[in-house]
């Protein structure tokens, strides 16, 4: 392994006052959300540099998707709550009443999702999705890898802080240092430019001082620690580092049908939640792991119950199930990538080795974002915003050779050398997740070879 460089202390130019970030569900009760239920974010106090890529507009959709009530994505155990209403008698209004006269939920969730006002209700969430793509999806970080743009620190920060709501306004305090380090690393990788190989003639990891852009037409920006940095930013932000935690925040105030539309958008669903349609971010990965249908079922139920004040308990139970499946599907995807990287990392073909590092970085970003996500003291997730703990996530990152405070000092490059520990480390990662989520040994066959849906 080459000697890792020492990072310069380069301050990130974020437009965040100490208390301005509204990302995570704070430990103090959030004020009620507006009736639209849309994600909210504070305006940046700095002069923002707007991305040249305008956010694509999303028109209101009136089509629906039917979800079979018998659909099960996998046999994996999740912490879900019963969403059926208790029995009672029917009053003259059609509502169920208990023997004490208290209204009891009589709503039966439909089998279809309908969101004719999706674009309006989820406007802020959809805008945040566009901001993320401008930063780390198809925008500046990706075009820098492809050699069609630069990626100076100032440019990366400008995109992070651009427009309202900005991505900076919803990044969790815990994930902000990761973004800072990632931006520094990526700027150095981009400056290093194209590199034919990060492995020397003897098969040893030899990235030089900063790594570089490698992988032929795939063009992956991999740092000296063996991490494809863009993946940490992209995947970390659409999971716990921003979008998941913003969705948690929305559950701490008034929860209505518009709120559920916003949560669906932050997850990455399309207006009709059609798995055959365009889906992005977490929704795309949930689909790949077989969790899309069950999350859609929870969204349908939560939205139906949210329309009736007598169904708050049922609504909250559906929301808890939704968030549990969202989180678990991301951790399952990370294990899928770690397992799939084993053969590729040990291949004699250089592009296979690059693909292995790419997949490992995707998985790391998916779980790392959850580090530091806080539990709110109000709303359905006041009993726990997530199942994973910081200790579990730190153990996963350490097991897979990540240095959490300096990405350049990570050692994922070791995995592409002969006789590496990638198979043992992948198995150890599975055990960490199994214990954290209470999975059974049989669940891992579905993780290693998932059935999309």
Please report where in the chains the tokens 């990761």 appear, as a residue.
178
Q: How far apart are CA 383 and CA 377, in angstroms?
A: 8
Q: What pLDDT does 441 receive?
A: 86
Residues 6+ apart with CB under 8 A from 130: 53, 54, 55, 56
Q: How far apart are CA 151 and CA 230, in angstroms?
A: 11
Q: What pLDDT does 95 receive?
A: 52
313: buried, middle or exposed (CB in 10 Å: 19+, 13-18, 0-12)? middle
Q: How far apart are CA 24 and CA 252, in angstroms?
A: 10
Q: How far apart are CA 45 and CA 26, in angstroms?
A: 22
Q: How far apart are CA 2 and CA 106, in angstroms?
A: 66
> 192 with 213: CB under 8 angstroms?
yes
> 213 with 197: CB under 8 angstroms?
no
Structural tokens at position 174:
């815990």
Q: What pLDDT does 99 receive?
A: 60
Q: Is 318 helix (H, G, I), strand (E, B) or coil?
A: helix
Q: How far apart are CA 317 and CA 152, in angstroms?
A: 45
Q: What is the DSSP string of 164-178?
A: SS-SGGGS-TTTHHH
Measured in degrees and rounded to the nearest 5, phi and psi for residue 448 equal -70, -35
> 261 with 58: CB under 8 angstroms?
no
> 319 with 255: CB under 8 angstroms?
yes
> 361 with 228: CB under 8 angstroms?
yes
Q: What pLDDT does 59 receive?
A: 33
Rg, C-alpha atoms of the chain: 22
Contacts within 8 Å (CB) and 24+ apart, 79-88: 79/320, 79/324, 79/387, 80/317, 80/320, 80/321, 80/324, 80/325, 81/316, 81/317, 81/318, 81/320, 81/321, 82/317, 83/109, 83/301, 83/305, 83/314, 83/317, 83/318, 83/321, 84/314, 85/311, 85/314
Residues 6+ apart with CB under 8 A from 221: 141, 144, 145, 186, 189, 190, 211, 212, 213, 228, 229, 230
- Region of residue 205 (phi > 0: left; psi between -120 and 50: alpha; otherwise: beta): beta
Could you list the pLDDT tens digit for every one of the 453 residues in the chain? 333 433 333 333 333 333 333 333 333 333 333 333 444 443 333 323 233 333 333 333 333 333 333 333 444 444 333 333 333 333 323 455 556 667 899 999 999 999 999 999 999 999 999 999 999 999 999 999 999 999 999 999 999 999 999 999 999 999 999 999 999 999 999 999 999 999 999 999 999 999 999 999 899 999 999 999 999 999 999 999 999 999 999 999 999 999 999 999 999 999 999 999 999 999 999 999 999 999 999 999 999 999 999 999 999 999 999 999 999 999 999 999 999 999 999 999 999 999 999 999 999 999 999 999 999 999 999 999 999 999 999 999 999 999 999 999 999 999 999 999 999 999 999 999 999 999 998 899 999 999 999
Q: How far apart are CA 220 and CA 294, in angstroms?
A: 33
């Amino acid at each position: 392994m080459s000697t890792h460089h020492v990072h310069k202390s380069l301050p990130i130019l974020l437009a965040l006052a100490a208390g301005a970030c509204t990302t995570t569900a704070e430990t103090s009760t959030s004020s009620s959300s507006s009736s639209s239920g849309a994600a909210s974010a504070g305006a940046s106090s700095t002069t923002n540099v707007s991305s040249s890529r305008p956010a694509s507009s999303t028109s209101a959709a009136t089509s629906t998707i039917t979800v079979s009530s018998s659909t099960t994505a996998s046999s994996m155990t999740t912490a879900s709550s019963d969403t059926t209403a208790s029995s009672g008698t029917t009053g003259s209004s059609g509502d169920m009443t208990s023997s004490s006269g208290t209204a009891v939920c009589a709503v039966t969730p439909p089998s279809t999702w309908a969101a004719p006002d999706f674009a309006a209700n989820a406007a802020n969430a959809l805008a945040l999705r566009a901001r993320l793509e401008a930063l780390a999806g198809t925008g500046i970080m990706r075009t820098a890898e492809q050699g069609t743009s630069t990626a100076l620190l100032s440019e990366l920060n400008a995109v992070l802080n651009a427009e309202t709501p900005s991505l900076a306004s919803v990044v969790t305090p815990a994930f902000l240092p990761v973004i800072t380090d990632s931006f520094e690393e990526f700027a150095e990788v981009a400056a290093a430019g194209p590199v034919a190989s990060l492995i020397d003639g003897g098969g040893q990891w030899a990235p030089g001082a900063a790594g570089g852009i490698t992988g032929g037409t795939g063009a992956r920006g991999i740092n000296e620690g063996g991490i494809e940095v863009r993946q940490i930013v992209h995947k970390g932000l659409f999971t716990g580092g921003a979008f998941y935690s913003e969705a948690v925040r929305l559950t701490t105030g008034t929860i209505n049908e518009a709120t559920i539309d916003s949560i669906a958008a932050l997850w990455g669903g399309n207006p009709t939640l059609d798995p055959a349609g365009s889906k992005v971010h977490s929704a795309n990965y949930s689909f790949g792991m077989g969790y899309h249908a069950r999350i859609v079922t929870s969204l349908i139920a939560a939205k139906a119950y949210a329309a009736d004040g007598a169904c708050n308990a049922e609504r909250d139970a559906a929301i808890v199930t939704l968030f549990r499946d969202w989180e678990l599907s991301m951790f399952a995807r990370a294990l899928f990538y770690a397992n799939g990287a084993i053969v590729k990392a040990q291949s004699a073909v250089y592009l296979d080795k690059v693909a292995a590092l790419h997949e490992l970085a995707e998985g790391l970003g998916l779980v790392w974002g959850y580090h530091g996500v806080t539990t709110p003291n109000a709303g359905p997730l006041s009993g726990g915003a997530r199942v994973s703990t910081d200790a579990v996530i730190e153990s996963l990152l350490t097991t897979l050779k990540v240095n959490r405070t300096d990405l350049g000092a990570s050692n994922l490059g070791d995995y592409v050398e002969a006789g590496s520990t990638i198979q043992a480390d992948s198995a150890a990662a599975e055990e960490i997740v199994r214990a954290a989520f209470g999975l059974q040994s049989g669940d891992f066959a579905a993780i290693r070879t998932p059935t999309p849906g």
